[in-house]
Structures are given as structure tokens and as C-alpha cells.
Structure 1
Amino acid sequence: NDVNVNRIISVNAQNKNIETIIKEIFADYDVSFREHTVLVKTSEPINKMVQQQSRIVKGLLIDANTNDPIIGASVWIKNSTQGVITDVDGVFTITVSGISTVLAISYLGYESIEIEVGDKTDLGVIKISSSEESLEEVVVVGYGTQRKESVIGAISSINVDQLKVPTSKISNILAGRLAGVVSVTRSGEPGAGSEFYIRGISTFGENKNPLVLVDGIERSLDLVDPEDIESFSILKDVTATAVYGVRGANGVIIITTRKGQEGKPRINFRIERGLTGPTSMPKMVNSAEFAEMYNEASNSNYYTPDVIEKYRTHSDPDLYPNVNWIKSLYNDYAHNTRLNMNVSGGGSIARYYIAGSLYDEGSIFQTEQNNTYNSALNYSK
């Protein structure tokens, strides 16, 4: 009933196909073709004023602290379903109408903001700040970050401050700090690390250790300085480690190191000194006491009184020595020293983080000493 079928229309049909002719006949209607059927319906009137006010608005979304572009942030018109996401450069373009449009911007781990567009077509640089409350709900997984409530695998995070203890190896720190992590120290030598397992051993052969990824690159855990760590996560079960295949069968440790931030150079220097010593040492008998007890235990006179007297008086130390091996081999205490220095800063073009550390670990053995050196350089544009 909406189409006037009695109207007479004249059309010049020379050198035109049938679709073009039909569209000219029904120029005032919406025409569509479906197989051998032509669908004709009335078209809604277009408000030319609104059409003239429709325009494309663009902007650049960056992190307020690091000035890095925010990739994949949601930008939509408030109280509507129309929206877009930012591209790899943090840029977005969206079509808006009128001058009272409000854009809502949100991204995981950041504060949501709203911006009035007005009559602008270029919103310029938009900075959003990270939300500490949101960051506490985010964990690192193999392919980025996720909210804790959306993660079904067993993932644990440890506060980085708990790793900053006076020891040269991070593997020695993990014992007793995370559920499911077992750390075993095989040696008491200075600088020796520990073997650690996440929920036991799941594979046969030589490679029984968890996979350790530092900024996405496989490295030894003990080569990382605790001062350079920004986040520390442990993926425990099959669901969490599936993305790493068989290499992640024994668990995965993901470490993210610190990055530079825009601003003036910031220099941090830290020094620690400590003393270590045995809780108790055995009290040994001297040579004369040993000889007397040997004679008593064997019910003999193997050591004569003259020999025992020489042990006691040290009259012939070459043939009858009386050495206190505890004093000769061990020190009463061992000294440990840790030095760490880092410099970070940068501008809008590039940011840097440079660090160096020294850990000098002594031993109660008089001849043992271990020095460990670490350095790190992070550069980002």
C-alpha cells in the first residue's frame, strides 16, 4: 500500500541493464534484489541537517606515565552501542553526530574516562592513568594479561619486595613463599643456587626444571637481579601452561623486568651488608685428650705417658701435632655485601633503564669467596 502502483513513469532505457532501470523507476524507494525477486519499500526521509553535522572524530590514546600508545582500548559513544578500538599506534577514529556527543574510553588496568567532543574533529593526545585497584586483579599469562576472575588455571604472583633479601640467588628465596613450590639446596657453597620444583616433577630425563621466561626470553632464574624485577608470576597447572606445550610441563615462571619512565634521570643506589655464622660448632678434644680416651676405650697403653705429654706440651709439633682444625679451617663469621645502582629516565621519543649490581658473598671457610656481577639495560621507544 505504500507504493503507488498507478503512477506513470518515463525512463530512458537505452544501453542500460535491468537493475539500473528498476532503480530509476523506483528512485524514491529502497530497492533490493533477492534471486529473481525485486523488493521495494519506502525509504525514510533523511534529515539533511543531521547529515551535515555527522563528522569523523579522531584522537591518540597514550599512557599518562610512560607515554606508550594504548592498543585495543574501547572508545564508544556514551549511551549507545556505537564504538571502536584503538589501533597499534593508539589512534582511533569514530563518526559522531551533533555537538553534545560524549565519548567513553576504557581499558583493562586503567581508569575509565569520558570526553565531551563538542564541535571538534581532532581530540589530540588523550592520557589515561593506570588503576592500582584494577592492576591487583590482573595476572600475567603466556599471551598477555588477564583478570584474575577470568583465569581458570592455577597462577600465583609474589610481591617483588619479598624477593629483595640478602642472597645472591633468587632460587634460594622461593622456599616457603609460594604454595606448591619446593626448593632444595644441594650445597652450602657461597653463590650456590637451589633446585626448585612446581608441584613436583612431571617429566623424565635431564630437563626437570620449570620454564623461566624473562621478558619472553628463556633464561636462568639465578641470572636475574631482584632489583630489576617488576612482576613475578608462577603458572602451576596444565591449564595455565598449555600455551607452552611440553616445555611448560613442569610449570612456568614469568618475570617482567623494570622499564624506564619519561622524565628526568632518576638514580637509585642501594647497599646492604650482613653477617652470617653457624648457630653452633662442635667442641673438639685436643691431641692429648684423644690419646688418653683411646687408651681407655681400647683398654691398652697404645699411647705412652711420654707421648701424651709431648702432645700436651707441644714440645715436638712436627711429630706430635696438636691442631685445632675448627679454628684452622673456619672463620667465626662470614661477611656479605650487596651493591646495586640503577638509572632510569627518558623523553617522549625513548626511555631507558640501566642497572648494575655486585654481590660479594663470604664463607665461614677461610679460602672460599664468591663475587656475582649483574647488569641490565632496557630501552624502549
Structure 2
Amino acid sequence: MKKKRECIGHTRHVLIFLLLTWFTYPVFAQQGNGLTVTGLVSDSTGNVLSGVTVSALTNRQARTQTDENGRFIIVVNSGTVLQFSSVGFEERQVTVNESNRELHVVMAFSTATVDEVVVTAFSQRQRREALVGSVTSVKPGDLKIPASNLTNALAGQIAGVIGFQRSGQPGQDNSQFFIRGVTTFGYRQEPLILIDNVELTTSDLARLNVDDIESFVILKDASATALYGARGANGVILVSTKEGKEGKAKINFRSELSSSQSTQTLQLADPIEYMHLYNEASLTRDPELPLPFTPTKIRNTQATLDGAPGSNPYVFPAVDWLDLLFKKRAMTQRNNLSVSGGGSVARYYIAGSYNQDFGVLKTDPRNNGDNQLNFKNYQLRSNVNVNLTTTTELIVRLSGNFSEYRGPITTDGSFAS
């Protein structure tokens, strides 16, 4: 009986060993028939791409990423279709076999997923759904308004951003805005503004040409601005200007002439109503005092307003001061010219703009002086990208901003200082 039990136990171990050998044989056979695929991934301009995901369509567990030199190694079966994907580029699929195991994959820039890509700190591009912090991106087309000041276009475009304009005087019409309230660090409310990773002022942002903007991103919460420390306590505005793309030279020209006016103006009392109210107030305070304006003056002033024959506007004037000093609307002229293009080695984007803002003050033809406000702004920009090697790129950013102003010398948009 004891020998029979030993035989049964020994037979059971042999069966288990045979089953394990049977099931594991295809695995070893599959690994033995694996195909080692190597390659290089670059974009259409020749720059190598790191962090590109390389995966097999039939086996998602077989996947890897390109290194900092754009190279990858993956082991798959012959005939497998490899998929290459990266943020901002169109996906590519390549079938590998014995004769096609060393690859050079060129990925094209994607235009359909531009809205899904957000530029974050240090110009890093991430998918919108992968972001944890509060980040808002604005389309450059939404910033095109009938005004030459970019800061005035932010109002109403971004949730949580409060902006207000203290003056409409040309050259002094910058909007003041804050993103996360005010901070205790010196009661500073202005956000950190970075244009092409260079810190600039609100005035530089105000005069930035909308046609030169590639992306406009605002980082609003602490997690998004942690890399900037206390400087980013009130939020960070990241602006990237356009770069040249490989291809033939493209020339863009835009010219606009727009007019703007107040949606609501002050309703002032006319001279007749003013004199009646003044007499009523004086009579209420002291009925025994004579009235400031006699009935004769009121009657003759009314004749001046009506343009009656025999009226004398010099003795009994009736002046509408708002209509005499200010025009109903102001004109703005904007012109922009840009040229972009390049080849596989160098790419360029060159732009120039000319903006002119007119004020609303009228010029009396009887006056020798010209009190019309006039603000002119000239801008030049040159962005050049040069591929020195396959892993090194030289980026040159040159810009100039020149302004010419004629009008009252003020610091706050008022005529009193």
C-alpha cells in the first residue's frame, strides 16, 4: 500500500512537470523568434525627438521610448506594426520585418491637436488632460480686438483674471490686472510676465503684436507656478512668439483701420436746466436773496439754443462743452508685415509692425496749435533657429519696440499732472 502511494505521488509530479514544460515552451519559442528593432526618430526639420512612445499595436506590453538622442530599441515579432506617438506630432505606424529592422522615422507636426497642447513652465509642452494645475490657454485669434493694446484684450477672455483700465489716453491705456489677487510680498499684484522665457513688463506685453504670438498661456494656481517661487505668487503669463518653418518663404500682410467710441457718455444738464436748478437751490436756502439768473438771461439763452433771429451767442452763450472739446469716436490704424520660411538647417521669422492711435480731442480751426493726441508705435522682430548639430540648436531672438507720442505729458492718463 505504501509503494502504491509513492508511485501515485511520483506520477503526479511527472504530470505537473510535463504540463509546465508544455505551456512554457511557446513562450521560450516566441522569445527565441523575437526581432530586435532599432531606429532614430526626428521631426520634419531634422531635429531628433526624445520621449517619443514606441509601442506594438498587437501587444501593448511591448513598448519603449526614445532617449535624449532620439534612438530606441525594442524586441517584437516579425510583421509587427509599431506605432510612434508624441505630443504635438501626428502618429506614425511602421511594419517591421527581417528586411526592415533599422528604422528612421520622421514625424510631422500636428495641426489638428494644437488646442490640446499647452505650453507650461520652461516651454515644456503637455497635453491639456495631463495637467493637474490650473492652466488656461488663449487662442491668439481671440486677442485681436479694435485696439493696439494687448492688455485690453485680456478682459473677459480668462476666468479668474480681473482687469480694469484706468484711462483711454493713447500710450497710457494699459490695463491693470491680477490673476490670484494680491500677495503679501510687498503688496505686489502684477503677475510674472515671460515672453520667450524672458521677464518683461506690462508695457512690453501691451505693445506686443498679436500676429507674432504663437501661444498665450496663463498659470494660475500654486502647483503651476511652483517653479517660479515667490515671483509667481500672482500667476505667470507665458507668451511664445512664432518661429519659422521649413518650406518656401511666406509673406503675410495685414492692415486695419478701426474706430472706437464710448458705449455710454455723461449726460450733462444744458444751460437752461442748469440755471433753473441753480435758482431753485438758491431759493431753497434763502428765499430773501435775489436769484442768480434773471428771467431775461434765461430767455435770451434759450433764444441762443434755438438759433432765433436776433439772439446773441456772445452775450448769452450756450456751450456744449463735451461736443466742443471731444469727438464722438477715435481712429486706430494697424499694419503688420511678416516673412517666414527656411530649410532643414536654418529657419527664420521676421516681422515689422506700425500702429497709430488717435485721441478724441478736437482741434479748433481758429487755433494755431494742434492739440490732437497722436501715439505711434513701431516694432521689429527677428526669430532665427539654426541646427548646429543633430542635438544642438541655436536660437536667436531679437526685438525692438519704438514709440512716438504727441500730446499732454502725463503719467496716469489725466490732464492734471
TM-score computed with the length of structure 1 as normaliser: 0.72
Q: What SS does the corresponding residue of 2:228 show, helix, strand or coil?
A: helix
The aligned residue for residue 184 of structure 1 is 164
Q: Note if 1:237 corresponds to 2:221.
A: yes
For structure 1, which segment, 241-250 or 78-87, has the greater mean C-alpha deviation from structure 2 after superposition?
A: 78-87
The aligned residue for residue 128 of structure 1 is 107
Q: In the alignment, which of 198, 204, 213 is matched to residue 179 of structure 2? A: 198
Shift of 1:210: 0.6
Task: Identify if the C-alpha distance between structure 1 residues 300 and 250 changes in structure 2 by more than 3 Å, giving closer, same or farther.
Answer: same
C-alpha separation between the residues in 2 aligned to 1:316 and 1:132?
67
The aligned residue for residue 339 of structure 1 is 335
Shift of 1:225: 1.3
The aligned residue for residue 207 of structure 2 is 223
Shift of 1:99: 6.9
Shift of 1:306: 8.8
**Long gaps (5+) in structure 1:** 1-46
Residues 314 and 322 of structure 1 are in contact (CA less than 8 Å); yes or no, is this contact kept in structure 2? no
Q: Note if 1:138 corresponds to 2:98.
A: no
For structure 1, which segment, 97-106 or 307-316, has the greater mean C-alpha deviation from structure 2 after superposition?
A: 307-316
Q: What SS does the corresponding residue of 2:223 show, helix, strand or coil?
A: helix
C-alpha separation between the residues in 1 aligned to 2:325 and 2:357?
17
AA aligned to 2:142 is Q
Q: Note if 1:329 corresponds to 2:319.
A: no
Q: Note if 1:107 corresponds to 2:107.
A: no
The aligned residue for residue 345 of structure 2 is 349
Residues 148 and 207 of structure 2 are in contact (CA less than 8 Å); yes or no, is this contact kept in structure 1? no
The aligned residue for residue 380 of structure 1 is 385
**Long gaps (5+) in structure 2:** 1-28, 283-288, 305-309, 363-371, 387-417
Which whole-Å deviations, capped at 9, do the CAs of 1:271-326 have from their partners, x for residues lacking one?
1111222344535545x886787567545265678988998678795x98665432
Q: What SS does the corresponding residue of 2:352 show, helix, strand or coil?
A: strand
Task: Identify if the C-alpha distance between structure 1 residues 54 and 296 changes in structure 2 by more than 3 Å, giving closer, same or farther.
Answer: closer
Task: Identify if the C-alpha distance between structure 1 residues 139 and 309 changes in structure 2 by more than 3 Å, giving closer, same or farther.
Answer: closer
Q: Note if 1:300 corresponds to 2:290.
A: yes
C-alpha separation between the residues in 1 aligned to 2:358 and 2:378?
15
Q: Note if 1:147 corresponds to 2:143.
A: no
More helix by share: 2
Shift of 1:155: 0.8
Shift of 1:128: 1.2
Q: Note if 1:257 corresponds to 2:241.
A: yes
Shift of 1:268: 0.8
Which whole-Å deviations, capped at 9, do the CAs of 1:138-179 have from their partners, x for residues lacking one?
322214122233322111111221011121222111111111
C-alpha separation between the residues in 2 aligned to 1:337 and 1:349?
37
Residues 168 and 372 of structure 1 are in contact (CA less than 8 Å); yes or no, is this contact kept in structure 2? no
AA aligned to 1:331 is K
Q: What SS does the corresponding residue of 2:254 show, helix, strand or coil?
A: strand
The aligned residue for residue 190 of structure 2 is 209
Task: Identify if the C-alpha distance between structure 1 residues 134 and 273 changes in structure 2 by more than 3 Å, giving closer, same or farther.
Answer: closer
Which whole-Å deviations, capped at 9, do the CAs of 1:98-156 have from their partners, x for residues lacking one?
975754433233233232455357545x3212345554333222141222333221111
Residues matched between the structures, number? 327
Task: Identify if the C-alpha distance between structure 1 residues 274 and 223 changes in structure 2 by more than 3 Å, giving closer, same or farther.
Answer: closer
The aligned residue for residue 413 of structure 2 is none
C-alpha separation between the residues in 2 aligned to 1:137 and 1:302?
71
Task: Identify if the C-alpha distance between structure 1 residues 323 and 149 changes in structure 2 by more than 3 Å, giving closer, same or farther.
Answer: closer
The aligned residue for residue 42 of structure 1 is none
Q: Percent identity?
A: 37
Q: What SS does the corresponding residue of 2:183 show, helix, strand or coil?
A: coil
Task: Identify if the C-alpha distance between structure 1 residues 300 and 170 changes in structure 2 by more than 3 Å, giving closer, same or farther.
Answer: same
C-alpha separation between the residues in 2 aligned to 1:296 and 1:151?
67
AA aligned to 2:339 is V
Q: What SS does the corresponding residue of 1:244 show, helix, strand or coil?
A: helix
Residues 262 and 348 of structure 1 are in contact (CA less than 8 Å); yes or no, is this contact kept in structure 2? yes
Residues 81 and 93 of structure 2 are in contact (CA less than 8 Å); yes or no, is this contact kept in structure 1? yes
